[in-house]
Structure 1
Amino acid sequence: MTDLPPEVDVAMVFDAGATADTDYWRALRDEYVPALHARGTRVAYTLWIDKLAKADIPLTDQAYRDYAQKLVDTYVTPYGLDGIDIDVESYPTGDNLTRAIGVFNALGDIIGPTSGSDKILIFDTNQNGSTPLFTAVSSKVSYVLLQAYGRGTAGMQSTWNTFADKIAPCQFLPGFSFPEEQDRTHWGDAEGIYDPATAPGSTAYEYATWQPQGGTKGGFFAYAVDRDGKVWGDNSITPTSFTWMKNLSAVQDDAAGVAPKAATAALAADRITIRGVGAPGATVSVKVTGPGRIPTAASTTAAVDGSWTLVLNRKLTEPQTATITQKLPHTGPSAPTEVRFIGD
């Protein structure tokens, strides 16, 4: 999980059945979560709606409150997580619907936007916003993740319209899927290494640039993010450089006019080479200030993986400062990053 790029704002964890009696949960608590928090990424635990709807509890407010607290005490607090993501792909009815609503709303009193805490409560679904469940719990929801795998944006506004009277646009995030191993669905949303020439024709790119009428969406999400860069039918498990996630983040920010985050930068031992990582496709600029003869201002374009290198036309000397900013085609500059040479 520590491989996730800083462009990821929220990561989901869940028990797929193979992690019982392993060291994963200790590593999650002691290694992964602290590392992700340090870079500004929040972590939520995914639970199926059946965990609420089919809980062995009576249909009473006290039972809902007690069970909601148990869920937080079991899945959030022990690992230092930031909230819960409820995956809703079925349609509870009868007592199961009543129970799901009761527990969800009780969770919303502990975590989520009306709880007074800094925790998040996510409604993660492939359904529209008109269901009895969502209608009853929408005020307790931090974000809606729409599992729009393989759909495209042709009907996205119509789907958004079913949510629009219940949540703000900034709470709505459409999502695509990378091809999983042994995948039978073949959504075709994003395959292979990101290519700026062909990516605009992809569903993933459409979601990054799409906006609801009259507002700005909260972002996009991706399922099976560890498969970023794979093509359908490739069942090998190998590391990823997250080229889609990094580039789509920059594409989305540019489309919304949001300046990218500050680039990382480090001065090499030769005192003329500065390297770092920024937003893919961003123009990275450096300007040096200070006494004496200073290097000329320079710029370059960040590569598909976000890496960039600038070579100054003279060495940086003490106490000169090199200030690095980056900007996308339709945004202002990022916050600055500064590097200095400090003599022995």
Structure 2
Amino acid sequence: MHCSQGSEGRSSIGRKLAAVAAGMVTTAMMVGCSLTVGTVANAQEEDSPVVESQEGNGSKHFMVYYRAWRDVTMKGVNTDLPDDNWISMYDIPYGIDVVNVFSYVPSGQEAAAQPFYDKLKSDYAPYLHARGIKLVRGLDYGGVMVNGFKTWIAQQGKSVDDATESDYGAYADHVIETYMTSVGLDGLDIDMETHPDAAQVAISDQVITALAKRIGPKSDNPEGTMFLYDTNGSYTAPFANVADCFDYVAYQQYGSDSNRTAKAAATYEQFIDSTKFVPGLTFPEEGDMNNRWNDATEPYLDSHFYDVASYSYDHNLGGMFVYALDRDGRTYSDDDLAHIKPSNLIWTKTAIAQSQGMSLENAKQAANHFLDRMSYTKDVPAETRQTVAAATNLYEVNKAVLGADWNDGYSNTYDPTLELSLTSIDTTALTNAIDKADALLADGVTDTDMLTEARSAVVTGLAGKAYTEADVASWTASLNTAITAAMAGNSKPQKPGADETNKPGPGQESVDRPKVTTGRLASTGSDVAVVLSVATMMVLAGISVFAVRRRG
């Protein structure tokens, strides 16, 4: 797709090929090729994470471009590197509300890529939808909005000059089925990086208008669909007549600070409100020997990430996005450019928090909450606590827990936005029960094995990726039952959670990923199952991701 530094015309090969490929697929389909979704794979329980909740805070967007050819389900697709892919869509951080599924599949590698599209439709999309995330797909402006229509209308035995509103509608239906609904997505993203002439704009205006009747803010389903426009320039001819068709503009300003953000926002504010302008940065793509964006470089306070995220929040822009999520933390060193390496996603997680207004106080609260619950299964070094306390900005807090890179800190998967939401769930009764169980075990109660088993199950669940109020209530009751039985020397108590079905099983932090189920995120003593968003839980608890005090 895009990537521009200074010049608005220069593009990175990886992104551009992926977007152009969309146009190529459309053209190929016009002459007889078809996109096959294939047999939907069955969900694997051990591969599917738990936690269902609405993402985002309701006003600020955060989008990530997810490079599909680097998903764990794709092997040997669009790559000449020997390293295994490490990321899956289950690793997408919290606070994100839009995922742009970005893909390029070279000819002849379609079969190797198919497992990803199968899993996208059967597992990934339902999981992300349960978190309130929309999924869109990037399409090349020239390949789909212009040339794609020309080819399609010719196949109908007509010319562009003969095309009717009905023809444009039929083509829009075709595009939506081909790229969106066939793989379970919610919207489309038009990638504009060229300077089309008036004749081309006349065609794209008609195509975009037809699409907008079906997806996005002007459609009959504005909440359930999305239509985006993304660009790296200020050439507004393809946008001016159709500006109201899009949810927001994603502006690619790779390698640039907030000075460019301000200029571009001013250009587009003649067409859209500032809350619909979303600037974006990038991480280094492997094998890119030309571009040197350097957006995510320490020191954090001097980085483009800090500058643009802060500017977006301070000036009430629509949020922020990042490209190449899986390359978070990578550099332009020869070693990084030549390999695929896992990431703790620290820059993305920090940008989410920064652009959405998390305060330093709340960041420290989230970090300490995480360390507290993890301490039941993994000792927390005093140095980690001290570093959190001494942190002066959000990145330093996150780095204290995550480390600068994979396997460099206490946790590889700590998620500050998710963790802050968990602070709204009262675990006092549960931790009191754990402490009581520990005291009994230290005193040598009669039924040590049963109490040990119950305690182990509870603390493993508490130290999992996430939990609900219903989980905590269930664990507390089960452990108290085990405590009572141990003290009385009674028979074997019921195991924690044994009376519940389809509950998330205890697991290691971001390792065991139970199948997604409809969970109860609040418990009022009734059996009524309700699904609350993370944001709703935080409001009910009086805790907000927004600044209680000024951000760090």
Query: Which deviations, in whole Å up to 9, do the C-alpha atoms of 1:72-128 show, x marking residues without a partner?
Result: 011111111110011000111132221111101111111010112121000010022
How far apart are residue 159 of structure 1 and its match?
1.5
What does the per-residue CA deviation read over 1:117-152, in whole Å, with 9 as the maximum and x for residues that have no partner?
A: 121000010022x61111011010111000011121
Change (3 A) 1:82 1:331: farther
- Partner SS, residue 66 of structure 1: helix
SS in 2 for 1:210: helix
Cross-structure match for 1:17? 105
Q: TM (normalized to structure 2)?
A: 0.49
Q: Which residue of 1 aligns with 2:96?
A: 8
Match of 1:279 in 2: 416
Cα distance in 1 between the residues matched to 2:118 and 2:184: 11
User: 2: CA distance between counterparts of 1:209 and 1:160?
Assistant: 15
Give the C-alpha shift of residue 318 in structure 1: 4.3
Higher strand share: 1
- The CA deviation at 1:222 is 0.6
Residues 195-274 of structure 1 aligned to structure 2 (within 5 Å): 198-211=299-312, 216-233=316-333, 234-235=336-337, 236-254=339-357
Q: In structure 2, what is the Cα distance between the partners aligned to 1:110 and 1:98?
A: 19
Q: Secondary structure at the match of 1:176?
A: strand
1:125 is matched with which residue?
A: 231
Q: Which residue of 1 is the match for residue 204 of structure 2?
A: 100
State the match for 1:32 in structure 2.
124
Give 5+ residue unaligned stretches, structure 2.
Answer: 1-88, 154-159, 381-410, 436-464, 467-475, 482-522, 524-536
In structure 1, the partner of 2:451 is: none
Pairing partner for 1:49 from 141, 162, 165: 141
- Structure 2 CA distance for partners of 1:151 and 1:288, relative to 1, 3 Å: closer
Aligned partner of residue 189 in structure 1, secondary structure: coil
Cα deviation, residue 165, structure 1: 2.6
- Superposed CA deviations along residues 18-50 of structure 1, whole A, max 9, x for unmatched, are 352332221221122122222232210110001
After the TM superposition, list the runs of 4 or more consecutive aligned residues in structure 1 that deviate by more than 3 angstroms.
262-271, 273-278, 280-291, 293-296, 316-319, 323-329
8 Å contact kept, 2:205–2:242: yes
1:331 — aligned with what? 548
Which amino acid letter does the alignment assign opposite residue 175 of structure 2? L
Task: Report if the CA contact (8 A) 1:288-1:294 is conserved.
Answer: no
Match of 2:171 among 64, 67, 88: 67
The DSSP-based 3-state class of the residue aligned with 1:43 is: strand
Whether contact under 8 Å (1:254, 1:331) holds in the other structure is no
Identity over aligned pairs, percent:
28
Task: Identify the residue that residue 272 of structure 2 maps to in structure 1.
Answer: 167
Matched residue, 2:239: 134
Between 78-87 and 149-158, report the one with greater CA deviation.
149-158
Distance 2:545 2:170 in 1: 49
Distance change (3 Å), C-alpha of 1:295 and 1:169: farther
Distance 1:103 1:256, change over 3 A: farther
Q: CA offsets per residue over residues 279-301 of structure 1, 9 Å max, x none?
A: 2797986866669x8999xxxxx
1:283-336 Cα shifts (integer Å, max 9, x gaps): 986866669x8999xxxxxxxxxx99xxxxxxx7749x9x9976669338xxxx
Bigger Rg over Cα: 2
In structure 2, the CA distance between the partners of 1:256 and 1:143, relative to structure 1 (3 Å rule), is farther
Contact 2:359 2:545 in 1 (8 A): no
Question: CA RMSD for the aligned pairs?
Answer: 4.1
Q: Which residue of 1 aligns with 2:69?
A: none
Give the direction of change, closer, same or farther, for the CA distance of 1:162–1:99 in structure 2 (3 Å limit). same
Shift of 1:269: 11
Query: What TM-score comes out, normalization by structure 1 length?
Result: 0.75
Structure ranking higher on relative contact order (CA contacts 8 Å, 6+ apart)? 2
Within 5 Å, give how 1:293-308 maps onto structure 2: none
Q: 1:140 to 1:288 in 2, by over 3 A?
A: closer
- The answer (yes or no) to whether the contact 1:83–1:111 under 8 Å persists in 2 is yes
Distance (Å, rounded) in 2 between the aligned partners of 1:158 and 1:165: 12
Q: Deviations over 1:152-209 (max 9, x none)?
A: 1113222211111321222111000100011220111114xxx6xx211111211111
**Mapped partners of 1:64, 1:284: distance in 2:** 48
Q: Would the aligned equivalents of 1:112 and 1:119 in 2 still touch at CA under 8 Å?
A: yes
Instruction: Check whether the contact 1:175–1:220 (CA below 8 A) recurs between aligned residues.
Output: yes
Letter of the 2:548 counterpart: T
**Shift of residue 255, structure 1, vs aligned partner:** 6.2
Distance (Å, rounded) in 2 between the aligned partners of 1:37 and 1:327: 23
Aligned CA distance change for structure 1 residues 16 and 294 (closer, same or farther; 3 Å): closer
Which structure 1 residue ranges, 5 or more long, are not aligned?
297-306, 309-315, 333-344
Closer, same or farther: CA 98–39 of 1 in aligned 2, 3 Å? same
Deviation of 1:256 (Å): 8.8
Q: Is the 8 A contact 1:53 1:92 kept in 2?
A: no
Aligned residues: 307
Q: Which has the higher helix share?
A: 2
